[in-house]
Amino acid sequence: MVPAHTLSWIVFLPLGGALVILCLAPQRREAIKTVALCTAALPVVQAVLMVFRFDPGETAFQFVEHYTWAPVLGFEYFVGVDGLSLPLVVLATLVSFLALLTAWSVESGAKGFFALALILETGVLGVFCALDTALLWVFWELVLTATFFLVSLWGGEEGRRAGRQFLILTQTGALAILLALLALRQHVADPLDGGPTFNLILQLDQANHDQWLSGTGVRHWIFAALVFGCGVLIPIYPLHVWQPRLHRSSPVAVPLLVAALVAKLGFYGILRIAWPVLPDAAAWARPVLMTLGGIAAIHGGLGALGRRDLAVILGYGSFSLLGLALIGLGSFTLSGVQGAGLLLVTHGLVYAMLFAAAGGLYDRKGNLDLERWCGLYKRAPVLGALFTLALLAAWGLPGLAIYPGAALTLAGALVRHPLAALAGAVGLLLAAAWTSRVILKVCLGEPSADLDDLPATRGRELGALVPLALLVLLLGLYPRLLADLTSTTLAGLVRVVGG
Amino acid sequence: MTVGPGQTLDVPVVTFAAWRPELVLAATLVLGLLAGARARRHVQFAVVAGLVVAAVLAAIDQDGGGPAGRPSHPLGAHFVVDGPAALARLALTALAALVAGVLPRGQHRSATMLVAATLGLVWLTEATTAAAVLLAVGTAVVGGSMSAWFAASGGQRRAVRRWHLTAALGFAVLAYGLALWSGLAGTLEFGEAAANLAARPSLPPLALPLVLSCLGVGLVLSLLGEPGRFQDGDLEVVPAALTGWLTVAPLVGLVVLVHRLVPATDSAAPAVSDFMGALAAVLVIGGFLAAAVQSRLQRRLAWAAAGQVGLALLGHAAASSGGGLAISMRCVLTFAPAQLGAVLLSGAIAGPGHVGLRRGALPVLLAGFLVSLAAVPPLAGWRPRFELLQALVAGDRYLLGGVAAAGTLFGCVVYLRPLVGLWRGHAEPPPLDEAAPAAPAGAGSLAVTSLVAAALFAIVLAWGAGLLRPGWYLD
Cβ–Cβ below 8 Å for A27 and B430: yes
B277 and B235 in a single domain? The answer is no
* A419 touching B (Cβ < 8 Å): no
Of the residues B215, B238, B261, the one at which a domain ends: B261
Which of A26, A175, A183 lies at the smallest CB-CB distance from B359?
A: A26
pLDDT for residue B13: 45
pLDDT per residue as tens digits for the range A89-143: 999 999 999 989 888 888 878 888 999 999 999 999 999 999 999 999 999 999 9
B279 and B212 in a single domain? The answer is no
B210 and B292 in a single domain? The answer is no
Residue B336 lies in a domain: yes
Banded pLDDT at A42 (limits 50, 70, 90): very high
pLDDT for residue A296: 92
* A161 touching B (Cβ < 8 Å): no
**Mean pLDDT over residues A229-239, rounded?**
87
- Considering only residues A171 and B8, tell me which one the structure prediction assigns the higher pLDDT: A171
Residue B333 lies in a domain: yes
Chain B residues with beta carbon closer than 8 angstroms to that of A160: 420, 424
Residue B439 lies in a domain: no
Chain A residues with beta carbon closer than 8 angstroms to that of B393: 179, 182-183, 186
Q: In a structure prediction context, what are the per-residue pLDDT tens digits for chain B, which is 475 residues long?
A: 344 444 444 444 445 566 788 888 889 888 888 876 665 667 788 888 999 999 888 888 766 555 555 555 666 667 778 777 888 888 889 989 988 888 877 788 888 889 999 999 888 888 888 888 888 888 888 888 888 888 877 666 776 777 777 777 888 888 888 888 777 777 777 777 777 777 776 767 677 777 777 777 777 777 666 655 555 555 566 777 888 888 888 888 777 777 777 666 555 566 667 777 888 888 888 889 988 888 778 888 888 888 888 888 888 776 654 456 678 888 888 888 888 888 888 777 655 444 344 556 777 888 889 999 998 888 888 888 888 888 888 877 888 888 888 888 898 889 988 888 777 655 555 554 444 444 444 566 677 777 888 888 888 788 777 777 666 555 5
Which of B393, B409, B424 lies at the smallest CB-CB distance from A183?
A: B393
Residue A228 has pLDDT above 90, yes or no: yes
pLDDT for residue B452: 80
B57 and B189 in a single domain? The answer is yes
Cβ–Cβ below 8 Å for B383 and A73: yes
Dist CA A46 CA A14 (whole Å): 13
Cβ–Cβ below 8 Å for A171 and B408: yes
Cβ–Cβ below 8 Å for A138 and B378: yes
Domain that holds residue B113: 12-261
B459 and B356 in a single domain? The answer is yes
* A142 touching B (Cβ < 8 Å): yes
pLDDT for residue A268: 92
pLDDT for residue B163: 72
pLDDT for residue B252: 80
CB A197 within 8 A of CB A188: yes
B269 and B220 in a single domain? The answer is no
B256 and B270 in a single domain? The answer is no
Dist CA A291 CA B132 (whole Å): 65
Dist CA A142 CA A117 (whole Å): 11
The H or E element that residue A326 is part of is helix A310-331
Cβ–Cβ below 8 Å for B390 and A185: yes
Among A11, A72, A114, A147, the residue to mutate for chain B (most B Cβ within 10 A): A72
**Mean pLDDT over residues A326-330, rounded?**
91
Q: How many domains does chain B have?
A: 2
Dist CA B359 CA A442 (whole Å): 41
Residue B30 lies in a domain: yes
* A228 touching B (Cβ < 8 Å): no
Q: Min CA distance, A198 vs chain B (Å)?
A: 12
Q: Min CA distance, A211 vs chain B (Å)?
A: 15
Those residues with Cβ within 8 angstroms of residue A406's Cβ, 6 or more apart along the chain or in another chain: A321, A324, A339, A343, A396, A424, A428
B229 and B317 in a single domain? The answer is no
Dist CA B97 CA A289 (whole Å): 58
Q: Min CA distance, A335 vs chain B (Å)?
A: 38
Residue B321 lies in a domain: yes
Cβ–Cβ below 8 Å for A138 and B469: no
Nearest CA among A85, A93, A2, A84 for reference residue A467? A93
CB B163 within 8 A of CB B230: yes
Q: Min CA distance, B340 vs chain A (Å)?
A: 22
pLDDT for residue B212: 76
A66 phi, psi to nearest 5 deg: -140, 110
Dist CA B398 CA A380 (whole Å): 59
B245 and B301 in a single domain? The answer is no
DSSP 8-state symbol, A371: G
CB pairs under 8 A between A and B: 87
* A120 touching B (Cβ < 8 Å): no
Chain B residues with beta carbon closer than 8 angstroms to that of A153: 420, 423-424, 426
Q: Min CA distance, A179 vs chain B (Å)?
A: 7
Chain B residues with beta carbon closer than 8 angstroms to that of A196: 394
Of the residues B211, B227, B261, the one at which a domain ends: B261
pLDDT for residue B419: 82
B337 and B256 in a single domain? The answer is no
Dist CA B335 CA B102 (whole Å): 20
- The residue in chain B having the minimum alpha-carbon distance to the alpha carbon of residue A135 is B377
The H or E element that residue A150 is part of is helix A133-154
Q: Bridge-partner residues for A62, per DSSP?
A: A81
B104 and B173 in a single domain? The answer is yes
Residue B69 lies in a domain: yes
- The residue in chain B having the minimum alpha-carbon distance to the alpha carbon of residue A188 is B394
Residue B431 lies in a domain: no
Helix (H, G, I), strand (E, B) or coil at A234: coil
| Secondary structure of chain B as H, E, C letters | CEEECCEECCCCCCCHHHHHHHHHHHHHHHHHHHHCCCCCHHHHHHHHHHHHHHHHHHHHCCCCCCCCCECCCCCCCCECECHHHHHHHHHHHHHHHHHHHHCCCCCHHHHHHHHHHHHHHHHHHHECEHHHHHHHHHHHHHHHHHHHHHHCCHHHCHHHHHHHHHHHHHHHHHHHHHHHHHHHHCCCEHHHHHHHHHHCCCCCCCHHHHHHHHHHHHHHHHHHCCCCCCEECCEECCCHHHHHHHHHHHHHHHHHHHHHHHHHCHHHHHHHHHHHHHHHHHHHHHHHHHHHCCCCHHHHHHHHHHHHHHHHHHHHHHCCHHHHHHHHHHHHHHHHHHHHHHHHHHHHHHCCCCCCCCCCHHHHHHHHHHHHHCCCCCCCCHHHHHHHHHHHHHCCCHHHHHHHHHHHHHHHHHHHHHHHHHHCCCCCCCCCCCCCCCCCCCHHHHHHHHHHHHHHHHHHHHHHHCCCCCCHHHC
Q: Min CA distance, A178 vs chain B (Å)?
A: 9
pLDDT per residue as tens digits for the range A342-389: 999 999 999 999 988 888 888 777 777 877 777 777 778 888 889 999
Q: Bridge-partner residues for A76, per DSSP?
A: A68
Residue B430 lies in a domain: no
Chain B residues with beta carbon closer than 8 angstroms to that of A168: 409, 413
Of the residues B236, B261, B286, the one at which a domain ends: B261
B247 and B273 in a single domain? The answer is no
Nearest CA among A14, A255, A45, A266 for reference residue A122? A14
Q: How far apart are the first and last CA of chain B?
A: 32
Which of A109, A152, A172 lies at the smallest CB-CB distance from B426?
A: A109
B374 phi, psi to nearest 5 deg: -75, 0
pTM of the model: 0.84
Banded pLDDT at A227 (limits 50, 70, 90): very high
